[in-house]
């Protein structure tokens, strides 16, 4: 670039100022709702609220369902990510689009679709019922299924991106040295993609923990069975605003703690 003229210097100043303003607004936009929540939190009653059986059962259910959904996402999502990144097959982009569909459709729509497929009257659900006596709607398994549906895409696309960007020379070297594919995957590929694996798992877990629409549509809302924290918050808003705020703060604290732990341990600051 040549010596800046006065005009371009002014323009630069203005654009830097505008960028700073945009950054400030963006930060405030995320900060203010948090402040609103914390200002209204009845801190004195937090302990009593946390100890109450309905809150404890919702919290426990949230943890169980979201962790189960993350585990299922890992078991099925990593192979899927591998296939999308490494296999050449017709319709691959179609499969990828299908995988990311739950990220773009509203969760309630996802819940309706799940009902129509896996519900008692759904084509797959009817078969499950007749062959195994399994019905998913209104069960904890149904809540886990709904959470997996919306959470797994986050894992798949993150892991796929990791697989695509990793340096494959190490895999080639391992193979040249006689390592079997599974050994290469476990000893070379997995450690190399570990950051994206953990990031994907964390994203999927956070998404599952906050899931509302698909869960309430497909699994319903019953304390102790399908009422996770987000559902409990929504119900509490009906008549106990303080309880809703408390539950929200608890969910916030749990997610933040786990994400910070994960970050320190597995995702070093770039």
Partner 1 sequence: MKLKAFGLLAVVLLVGCRPEVGYQDPGSPAGQQLSGSATVFAAASLTESFQQIGKLFEDANPSAQIVFNFSSSSGLATQISEQGGADVYASADRANMDKVADRSLIDGSAQVFARNRLEIVVAPGNPKGIKTLADLANPELKVVLAAPQVPAGHYAREALDNAGVTIRPVSEAVDVKGVLGPVTLGEADAGIVYATDIKAAGSRAEGLAIPEDLNVNAEYPIALVKNGRNAQVGRAFIDLVLSEEGQQVMADHGFIPA
| Residue 144 interacts with partner 1 (CB under 8 A): yes or no | no
Whether 153 and 96 have beta carbons less than 8 Å apart is answered as no
Q: Of 44-52, 119-127, 247-255, 261-269, which segment contacts partner 1 by CB under 8 A?
A: 119-127
Give the DSSP letter string of 171-230.
HHHHHHTT--HHHHIIIIIHHHHHHHHHHHHHHHHHHHHT--HHHHHHT---TTTT--HH
| Residue 226 interacts with partner 1 (CB under 8 A): yes or no | yes
| Residue 223 interacts with partner 1 (CB under 8 A): yes or no | yes
| Residue 215 interacts with partner 1 (CB under 8 A): yes or no | no
| Residue 220 interacts with partner 1 (CB under 8 A): yes or no | yes
| Binding residues for partner 1 restricted to 124-143, rule: CB under 8 A | 137-138
Residue 54, C-beta contacts closer than 8 angstroms, at least 6 positions apart: 223, 232
In angstroms, the CA 75 to CA 86 distance is 17
In angstroms, the CA 47 to CA 260 distance is 23
Count residues contacting partner 1 (CB under 8 A)? 22
| Residue 234 interacts with partner 1 (CB under 8 A): yes or no | yes
| Residue 237 interacts with partner 1 (CB under 8 A): yes or no | yes
Nearest alpha-carbon partner for 110 in 71, 144, 149: 149
State CA 115 to chain mean position distance. 21
By beta-carbon proximity to partner 1, the closer residue of 188 and 245 is: 245
Contact string (CB under 8 A) for partner 1, positions 174-213, x = contact:
----------------------------------------
Interface residue with partner 1 among 46, 95, 222, 254 (CB under 8 A) is 222
By beta-carbon proximity to partner 1, the closer residue of 152 and 236 is: 236
By beta-carbon proximity to partner 1, the closer residue of 50 and 116 is: 116
Whether 121 and 64 have beta carbons less than 8 Å apart is answered as no
Task: Scan for tokens 């739950």, then name that residue.
Answer: 102
Contact string (CB under 8 A) for partner 1, positions 58-97, x = contact:
----------------------------------------
Half-sphere exposure of 165 (CA within 13 A, CB side): 11
| Residue 121 interacts with partner 1 (CB under 8 A): yes or no | yes
Interface residue with partner 1 among 235, 249, 250, 251 (CB under 8 A) is 235
Q: How far is CA 139 from CA 39, 61, 68, 128, in A?
A: 36, 12, 14, 14
Point out which residues bind partner 1 (CB under 8 A): 115, 119-121, 137-138, 216, 219-223, 226-227, 234-241
């Amino acid at each position: 670039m040549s010596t800046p003229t006065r005009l371009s210097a002014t323009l630069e100043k203005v654009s830097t100022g505008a960028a700073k303003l945009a950054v400030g607004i963006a930060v405030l936009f995320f900060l203010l709702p948090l402040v609103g929540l914390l200002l209204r939190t009845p801190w004195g009653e937090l302990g009593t609220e946390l100890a109450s059986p309905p809150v404890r059962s919702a919290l426990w259910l949230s943890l169980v369902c979201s962790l189960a959904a993350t585990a299922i996402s890992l078991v099925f999502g990593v192979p899927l990510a591998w296939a999308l990144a490494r296999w050449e097959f017709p319709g691959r982009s179609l499969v990828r689009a299908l995988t990311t569909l739950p990220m773009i459709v509203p969760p309630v729509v996802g819940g309706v679709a799940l009902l129509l497929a896996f519900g008692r009257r759904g084509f797959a659900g009817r078969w499950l019922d007749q062959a195994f006596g399994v019905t998913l709607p209104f069960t904890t398994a149904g809540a886990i299924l709904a959470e997996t549906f919306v959470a797994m895409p986050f894992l798949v696309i993150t892991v796929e991106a990791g697989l695509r960007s990793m340096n494959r020379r190490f895999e080639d070297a391992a193979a040249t040295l006689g390592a079997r594919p599974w050994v290469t995957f476990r000893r070379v590929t997995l450690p190399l993609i570990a950051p994206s694996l953990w990031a994907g798992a964390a994203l999927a877990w956070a998404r599952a923990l906050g899931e509302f629409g698909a869960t309430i549509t497909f699994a319903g809302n019953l304390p102790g069975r399908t009422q996770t924290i987000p559902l409990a918050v929504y119900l509490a808003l009906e008549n106990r605003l303080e309880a809703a705020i408390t539950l929200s703060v608890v969910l916030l604290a749990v997610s933040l703690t786990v994400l910070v732990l994960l970050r320190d341990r597995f995702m070093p600051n770039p």
